[in-house]
Structure formats: C-alpha cells, structure tokens
Structure 1
Amino acid sequence: MTRRSDWPEYTPSPEPPQASARWGDGLPADIQDSDGPAPSRAEAGPSRASSRNRGRGADGERGPGEAAEPADPVERARAICLRLLTGTPRTRRQLADALRKREVPEEAAEEVLARFEDVGLIDDAAFAAAWVDSRHHSRGLARRALARELRTKGVDSTVIDEAVGRLDSDSEEETARVLVARKLRSTRGLDREKRLRRLVGMLARKGYSEGLALRVVRRALEEEGEDPEMLDEHLHGL
C-alpha cells in the first residue's frame, strides 16, 4: 500500500499549448525574418513547421543545407529566436537559455529578448494562461502540477500564481471527479485495496492533494455501492 509519507510526486511531461494568435501579423521590419515576414502559426501548419525545423535542435540550431547565420550577434540572436518561435510559443527563459547555449553575447541576447517582449512575441503571462487552460482541460492536471511545469519553463512565480489562480478549488475537484469516473470502469474486478491505490495514485500523479484525492475516490466508490466503513478502513492505510 502507498503510505501517506510516500505520496507520489508529479513528473511533468512536455506538451506546449496551442497558439491562439496569428504569429507575425504586423511585426516591425526589424523583427521580421530575413526570408520575409514570419508566417502565421495557423498558416504555417504542422508540415511547414516540421520542414523548417527538420534537423534542427531544440536550441534553434540551423539544419544541414540552410544558410549560414548572420555574423552580427544581434542579428544572429534575432534569427535564432524567430526560428524557435515558429510553430510554438516559448517563454523568455527558454529563449534566453537557447541563446546562451549558442554562445550569443549576453548584451545582444538581452537586446533581442527585450525587443521581442515589446512587440508581443514573448509574453510569459499569455504563455502561462494558455498552458494552464490547455493542460488542465486536456490532461486534467491540478494547480500544483501546472505550477511546477511552469516553473521548469522559467515563468516568474507571480505570473504562475496569477495563471493557476484561474482555477478555483471547485473546478479542480470537479475535474478530479471526472478523472476518477473515467478510471472506475477499468478497475472493476480488482480487489478494494488495488482499486483505491490505482485511483488515488492516478490523481496524485496529476498533482492533486492527498486530501482531495482520498475524498473524491471515497465518494465515487461509495456511490458505486462500496461499504463506507470498509472504505474508511482501507483509506486510513493509504
């Protein structure tokens, strides 16, 4: 059985939110790529993005056969950031880390990152809000898990608090109930102890608190006809 002291930690997995704005619309000339205005994310589509990114690492390195990067560090930083932003939004920290790995001088990197923030190509608040909305509704992640994922992407704690604050306790509990209801059928036929462990563990891995997980699972099994006293006996052992 899983003891209270062994409550599992949530392990985040990468899954970027879908962009909602048209990328590149109305960009100043100094931001546009040297190959022409940046395509909108909707227009670029998966095939175009994948073809441009083929052979390119996560730090925006050009693939074989592509033109050499500009010698000027500011132009080089701009080109790297534009390539990384094609197809998916990124946080300022993610772009800064990529520029550092490519050994772009700090002064040039800061100039480009500040300019991209000015024109809205870098917007950590919008990124965090989209991430919370996407990951909560598609994966059922709780606020604790969402906050942890955003921290790994370098989002400021104040921005994280504002983004996850969009989810209240009632919404989080309702999502937990839906997750348990979906999982119940696949656990039928197992003994009570295994069912409890699987259902509670599933919620724990998605970042739900121990108290909420136990409460939601108990209610779901009780509604299914389980003996409340027997449930309490097993739940106390978790």
Structure 2
Amino acid sequence: MSEELRRAELAESLREVRDRVDRACRAAGRQPEEVELLAVTKTFPASDAALLADLGMTEFAENREQEARGKVAEFVALRPETTARWHMVGQLQRNKARAVVRWADVVESVDSERLAEALARATANALDAGERQRPLDVLLQVSLDEAVGRGGCRPEDVPALADMIMRTSDLRLRGVMAVAPLGGEPDVAFATLSVISERLRRDHPEAVEVSAGMSGDLESAVAHGSTRVRVGTALLGGRRLTSP
C-alpha cells in the first residue's frame, strides 16, 4: 500500500474512533477532552506511527520491549521534530527495566513491588547517565479476574504498592490500568476499577489517570470513568508485523 493510501486509511479510522469516543463521552455526560486516545502500535511499523503523528496523534503504546526499542528509534528518525510520548502497556520482566526506561515515558503495567524497585533503580541510573531527562510515569496494573498470565496486582495489594512507589523519587504514580476479563462483562470490570481508582485517589490525589478500554469495549470504559483508551485494531487494522 502506498503512503498516501495508508495515510487516508488511518485518517478515516482515526475519525471513526474519535467519533466513538465523543459519543461515549456525551452518553456519559463527560467532555471528550477528558479522554485521551492512545494508539497501540504493537506489530505495526514505525511508519504508521509517523503517519498518525502527522494526523495529530501524540501518544503511542507498545507491549514488547524488544519491538518497541527499534520502533521508537525509527520513529524519531522519521519525525525528528515531532514530540511523542511512548507507553509500555505489556507485561514487563524486571530484567527489561533498564532497557525500557531508555525509551518509555510511561509504564502502565507495574504490578509488583519488585518490578517497581527495578524500574526505580533503572530510572535513577538513566537520569544519571543522561539517557532520560525526567522521572518515569507509572500506572498500577490491576487484575480484575486474577487470570494467570495477563498481569496485574490484586485489588487489595494496590495501596501497599502505591505507597511503595510514592517513597521513590524516580517514579511518579499517575493512576491505574486494567484489561477487562476475557469473556466477562466489561461494565462490571470497569465499575470495579472505578472504585479502586477512587480509593487510590483518596490517598494519592495526583493518581488521577484510569487507563481502560480498548477497541471492543471503550464505550463501557468511558462510561465508568476511563481517562485513556488504548486502541489498536480499530485504529490500525489487522496485524502487519510479526512480533520479535
């Protein structure tokens, strides 16, 4: 597909997704600017992210460190004057912390104190080495079904994990993230997340972000207070790359 055709395709998809978000906000009595659109570019080339940036997108997400590392570097080469923020939304092993803090502005999948400690150490070292200029924004990934292999801490573990992060100077706690359970009712899951977020904000007023909702359930997430929807398929279509 030519660049012009791909740009047109992405522009139409972006318009449709933004229309969905706008309608969901109106139905929930919210303002569209309250909900950020995060383009999940996993398995898609950096050229797609560059075209989305041309269309006004500034927030991008990846779920595998190895794929993201090269893609972010290529994006910078393609659009050196463009400011973009990159989110890590996939499960992250502690031994990848040093690598991920070199490109990620936000890690949304923090689900244990050991991972938070590894990210804090890696961020401190990256700051000292001049590899990044600011602390790392993090969200707590909450498991809403305790499914093995999908990541997330138990809801009852959120307060202690949040307190631990607040004791570090290299991580900034921004809120919570969750994925609706497979085969479950999104409204129930996102209502639960809303309660967890509200409790977290009582202790940590700055932790206002709620990253929830994807291509298939963003309307439900917006209805329950999501401030960021993570959209891949509805925006970019079917997979284009094979993840390394």
| Shorter-chain TM band | under 0.3
TM-score, normalised to structure 1, is 0.24
**Could you state the TM-score of these two structures normalised by the residue count of structure 2?**
0.24
Which structure has the greater CA radius of gyration? 1
